[in-house]
Structure 1
Amino acid sequence: MKTLKFIIALCFMASVTACKSEKKEDIKEPIKQTEKVIETPKTYAEISIAQGGEWIDGTRGHEEYDGGTSFKNIEKFRVPDNHTDHSWYIRYEGPGWENNKIGYRLYLDWRNAIDIFGKKTDTMVLSNVGQDGFDSYHEPEPWGQDILKVGSGLGIGSLGRLVEVEVLHFKEVDSTFASVQNNLDASSVIINYKGWKTGDDKIDLKSTLSIRPDQRYTKHTIQPSKAIDGIVTGIIDHGVNYFQKESANKKWAYIATYGEQTLVPDDLGMAIFYEIKTTSEVKKGKYDYLIQFQPTTKPVSFYFLGAWEQEVDGIKTEAEFLTYLDGLLNELNSNNAL
């Protein structure tokens, strides 16, 4: 009898243990939700055109876009044939691109010059610039302002063609197409010029301007459809100190200016880094310090930058600026790219 009771007790305990085990297996750990980390972009590019108005005969001897009530951002478009300087059709006159350090804009008309937006903040600001339809961005704002007077020159890092002693801009072009791209790690402006006529030559030319986070420079890659002499880039000459330096291994070099050369006025450094084997001459032009490229149909890349004293953690002295440039030059010579 005792044996029977003992066996029954053992069976009961085994049953309870099995039940507990089953219950334990039935209890599932709560699923942990993975929080999405939303990265704030540190680069931005845009093209914004006027809406709600019409083209009229303007007071400057060419058509202007009048009565626009708003602007619309677009990813790509063909520039209207009647568009020229101060047409008021494209917000701040062309595409813009920026990062958490600096901003730039390209005059998308016959001037084809590149201007600088100095920034006092590390946030993206271009989407709010020029929304009033005028050029109020030349005045100081909490975010910064347009700081470079381009005049008749190339500004910084744009293109022209040197024919004899004259730098020809983009006065004769069959058509111009512009587009922008925005990714987390870079933003770009792409311009395709069709039928650019200078002197006795007519070519197509693709220009790609790309900016990455945390750096002041823009990478500019150009590709002509025909190998012609005289394609140049440059820095506008405002009568401040000028510098030119080649690396010891003769791979890369830079030209640069530094001094009081902004609309503020205050100190600004500008520089262009170029691969020596792609160029034929560095010289002083009428309005600019020029870098002339060798004739080619292959892509050619160079880098340009501005460094404004009022930017966040900005470079304040000429000595700091030159040290900064030498560091970038060393990086280029080591890696052949920035």
Structure 2
Amino acid sequence: MNNNFNFCLPAAFMVLLFVGCKTYKNIAEIGIVLTNHSSLELTDKPISIARKLLPEKMNLNNYPVLVYKNDTIPSQVNDLDGDGKWDELFVVTNFSAYEKKKTQLVWVKQAPKFKIRTSARFGKRESENEPLQPATEETVNANQVYKKLGFQKYQTDGPSWENDKVGFRHYLDGRNSKDVFGKKIPAITPENVGINSKGAVEDNYHVMYDWGRDVFPVGSSAGLGAYALLVDNEITRLGILGTDTLNNIEKTTFKIVSEGPENSVLSYDYHNWNASGNKYQVNETTSIWPGMYGFKNTVSIEGITGKETFLVALSNINNQKGLKVIEAGNFVCLIQHDNLGYNREWIMGTAIIVPKKGYKGYMEAPKKGQLTDSYLAKFKIENNEPISYYAIAAWELSADKNFKDSAYFNNYVINLAKQLSTEITVKINK
């Protein structure tokens, strides 16, 4: 998509702009202190500063920016509830051990143009003969699935999202699996991935390009980071297989909530998901920011009665070396590393980083059925209580070639879990 934030203003120019903006002089003197209380060095640490925490005298018609040592910190504003007003200032920055950053809150008339390091993409068509059009939202009814329609309606089978390290896609065509794009370069991939020269949907991403390709087999697993429910010893995946003609979800609504240089957010609502004869309402939010070989997923389910177990899926197709389960920080890391690529052609590491709270171990999916070829992390789930976890993927052709080594990937995941466990305190001097 990339409609905003297309270039980067030099820091010196931005500082001069701030200093010369006398209208906001008093507001610019407001300090925000960001503190890392841990002994860890933090790389590309995301920080959300809620709008409601900022001073009431802020100018709502302008954009907030943080300045640290005469340099602007990469950030963006996000409208998370869709009311047309931004709700958070999303900041990404680095910290040394125990570092305290005393920043200044500054208001500018135009949004700064930072280097683009995240993106979200979605395209659709209403008939097989129509050219695909870019879109930011979609509604899918139970009978509007790939096998029933007889053609693929969506670019890359559904929305895709990425950062400077790795890319992913979600099968919105009824399957709701999650797949991986291996990236060889940090640049955002071309907008026409999954489209041919005539504007038609085409699977042209299972071949190698300079930027990379789709590298992860999914099959009848749920891919990397999708989920299911276990009720009375019956596993029900969210969605169906590609051979099915009727979804187990009555209606799905999807929206790209935000797309910016530092954060892209996607939202899904699943209405009346039929699992073991029960109807559930599900909200899922996917968020990605720079620097991490993965994304964050948050799921909440309405209709939980207490007999359900929530299952987070990690496809183990092509895995011949088993699973490592390691606790790190506030999380449990389920890690695999093998020739996980198509036809075992490439070495990959994939993992899910799940919270310790509520974790009940893992199980393997059955050999046959609607959900196979997966490790499934088990969780106690409460009604309408969100569960957040992370899906991680790195292959040997990534910019960091060390991912070919299993110990290196294991250490990466463990260190990432520790960094994710570290909270940055935000103090606003109003």
Bin the TM-score by the shorter chain.
Answer: 0.7 to 0.9
Higher fraction of helix: 1
Cα displacement (A) at 1:38: 3.3
Cα distance in 2 for residues equivalent to 1:182 and 1:159: 24
Cα displacement (A) at 1:293: 2.0
Say yes or no: does 1:187 pair with 2:275: no
TM-score (norm 1): 0.79
Cα displacement (A) at 1:252: 1.5
Cα distance in 2 for residues equivalent to 1:227 and 1:169: 15
Cα displacement (A) at 1:165: 5.0
Instruction: Report what 2:284 is aligned to.
Output: 207
Instruction: Report what 2:157 is aligned to.
Output: 93
Cα displacement (A) at 1:313: 2.1
Instruction: Report what 2:379 is aligned to.
Output: 293
Instruction: Report what 1:307 is aligned to.
Output: 394
Cα distance in 2 for residues equivalent to 1:41 and 1:162: 40
Give ranges in structure 2 of 5+ residues lacking alignment: 1-15, 19-109, 240-246, 367-372, 426-430
8 Å contact kept, 2:337–2:347: yes
Equivalent residue for 2:124, pick from 25, 38, 49:
49
Deviations 1:261-284 (A, max 9, x none): 112611110011111113333122
Which protein has greater RCO, CA pairs closer than 8 Å, 6+ apart? 2
Deviations 1:20-39 (A, max 9, x none): xxxxxxxxxxxxx9599732
Cα displacement (A) at 1:111: 1.8
8 Å contact kept, 1:98–1:126: no
Cα distance in 2 for residues equivalent to 1:325 and 1:155: 18
Query: What is the identity, as a one-letter code, of the residue corresponding to 2:376?
Result: L
Aligned alpha-carbon RMSD (Å): 2.4
Instruction: Report what 1:78 is aligned to.
Output: 139
3-state DSSP of counterpart to 1:135: coil
Query: What is the identity, as a one-letter code, of the residue corresponding to 1:290?
Result: L
Cα displacement (A) at 1:89: 0.7
Cα distance in 2 for residues equivalent to 1:81 and 1:200: 16
Instruction: Report what 1:226 is aligned to.
Output: 303
TM-score (norm 2): 0.63
Say yes or no: does 1:266 pair with 2:341: no
Deviations 1:224-253 (A, max 9, x none): 112251321111112232211123x7x321
Cα distance in 1 for residues equivalent to 2:424 and 2:140: 35
3-state DSSP of counterpart to 1:328: helix
- After the TM superposition, which residues 1-338 of structure 1 pair with which residues of structure 2 at under 5 Å, given as runs? 38-50=113-125, 54=127, 66-68=128-130, 70-85=131-146, 87-125=151-189, 127-132=191-196, 133-163=201-231, 164=233, 166-170=235-239, 171-180=247-256, 181-228=258-305, 229-238=308-317, 239-241=319-321, 242-247=323-328, 251-263=330-342, 265-286=345-366, 287-296=373-382, 297-314=384-401, 315-335=403-423
Query: What is the identity, as a one-letter code, of the residue corresponding to 2:331?
Result: W
Cα distance in 2 for residues equivalent to 1:98 and 1:220: 14
Cα distance in 2 for residues equivalent to 1:126 and 1:176: 27
Cα displacement (A) at 1:101: 0.6
Select between 148-157 and 35-44 the one with higher mean Cα deviation.
35-44
Q: Alignment length, in residue pairs?
A: 290
Q: Percent identity?
A: 24
3-state DSSP of counterpart to 2:363: strand
Cα distance in 2 for residues equivalent to 1:111 and 1:92: 13
Cα distance in 2 for residues equivalent to 1:276 and 1:48: 37
